[in-house]
Amino acid sequence: MALKRKRTCSTTSLPELTKSVWDTGSTNRARSDLEVETQVFKIELNALERQRGKKKQTAGFELDLINKLTIRPAIWYGMMSFGRFTKAVEILRGDIIEVKRPAKGDDIPGQGKEWLARVLEVKGRENKDKVDVYVRVAWYYWPEDLPMGRLEYHGRQEVIESNHPDIIDVCTINGKADIQEWDEYDEDATFDGYYSRQQFDIVSKQLTRPREFCVCKQYYNPDTVIINCPGCNVWMHKDCIIADAIERHKNSSIVIKLEGDSTPDHDVVVVRKEEKKGRGRSKKTTPKPDQSIRGSLCEGKIRIEEIVRKSDDDSDSGLDTDTIIEEDIHCLNCGELVP
């Protein structure tokens, strides 16, 4: 399902992770901007108190922490429960919502973007001739709002699901939002827009682990390229393929120089390092020219470009010119040709 490109974000004022109590005042600042009175609830996460002094937990994830929460004032527990509410469209428990970001406050995370949360519970109470509706939510995070910050594999449109609980006033909600849950083991999965594949557990303060890819056993940033080997079904990072080719080029005793790129048939000259052209006599050793090696993938080939900046006393040897090497892509795992 194609996703709407919404400006979404992670969290309200995050509780310090050494604390187990926080209130909803910062969230409902958006309603105070509307000059509407709102109830502030205080949430205590009892699990944090019990786990102090214990060994660091491995990352697990329980979305709804209601059994580990104490909510004050206790009027929350006696309020009427609803299965849905309407905010331009009908919103059900389990749906994802966009929440208004307060207009003021330097301490507000999200870099000016709207906040995103999952609806866990809807409650209301009578107030004169109307019903005030409140929503218990679990916040999503932008990667940069995580305690560990944005990691290398996080994509530009990636958000992190969390079980960070909060209670917000329904008046602070913009409406319904779309985000795709990405199963990395579904190799046919496609998405267009915001997506989530990881969870942040506020109890253990850890992220769940994404899938490992490639022979490097690292993770995959969807903003980059990976290539599949049909032989062993290993997915390889483009950067790993190029880095391997560059390393082999540095260690190789054969350089294939392709000349005349403008013509369909290139002249292929094989120059062995131990058989460089010379004048039949030994040369004095000179400093190695300043050279850089770049790699890229082009039309199913690995393309290595070696650019040499010659010093004044360098001779015109076979390697003292710009060199381009093209080779087929082979699997870093099984060695088979990758078409």
Give the Cα-Cα-Cα angle 146, 167, 9 (nearest 5 degrees).
35
Residue 285 in contact with residue 243, Cβ under 8 Å?
Answer: no
Domain ranges of the chain: 21-207, 235-328
Following DSSP, what letter does each residue of 211-233 receive, concatenated? --BTTTTB---TTS-EEE-TTT-
pLDDT of residue 141: 94
What is the pLDDT confidence band of residue 199, given thresholds at 50, 70 and 90?
very high
Identify the weakest region by mean pLDDT among 82-86, 97-101, 119-123, 273-277.
273-277
What is the pTM (predicted TM-score) of this model?
0.70
Question: 10 Å Cβ neighbour count for 297?
Answer: 16
Tens-place pLDDT, residues 135-155: 999 999 999 989 999 999 999
pLDDT of residue 307: 73
pLDDT of residue 45: 85
Tens-place pLDDT, residues 25-80: 444 444 344 344 557 899 998 855 444 455 555 556 889 898 889 999 999 999 99
What is the pLDDT confidence band of residue 213, given thresholds at 50, 70 and 90?
very high
Element (H, E) at 240: helix 238-251
Average confidence (pLDDT) over 177-198: 89
pLDDT of residue 258: 41
Q: Highest-confidence range of 14-23, 38-47, 164-173, 290-299, by mean pLDDT?
A: 164-173
219: pLDDT strictly greater than 90: yes
Distances (CA, A) of 32 to 22, 170, 185: 18, 13, 44
What is the pLDDT confidence band of residue 127, given thresholds at 50, 70 and 90?
confident
Distances (CA, A) of 253 to 72, 138, 270, 286: 74, 59, 10, 19
pLDDT of residue 255: 45
3-state helix vs strand vs coil in the chain, percent to 5: 10, 35, 50
User: Percent of the chain having pLDDT more than 90?
Assistant: 42
Instruction: Give the chain's count of helices (H) and strands (E).
Output: 4, 22
pLDDT of residue 223: 92
pLDDT of residue 238: 94
180: pLDDT strictly greater than 70: yes
Tens-place pLDDT, residues 265-301: 333 333 333 444 444 444 444 444 445 788 888 888 9
For residue 189 the two structure tokens come to 């999965």
Place of tokens 């999200």: 110
**303: nearest Cα among 322, 278, 276, 283:** 322
**235: nearest Cα among 154, 150, 334, 153:** 334
- Beta partners for residue 92, in sequence order: 84
Give Cα 87 distance to the centre of its chain: 30
3: pLDDT strictly greater than 70: no
What is the pLDDT confidence band of residue 304, given thresholds at 50, 70 and 90?
confident
129: pLDDT strictly greater than 90: no
Residue 306 in contact with residue 286, Cβ under 8 Å?
Answer: no
Look up the CATH superfamily of 21-207: Bromo adjacent homology (BAH) domain (2.30.30.490)
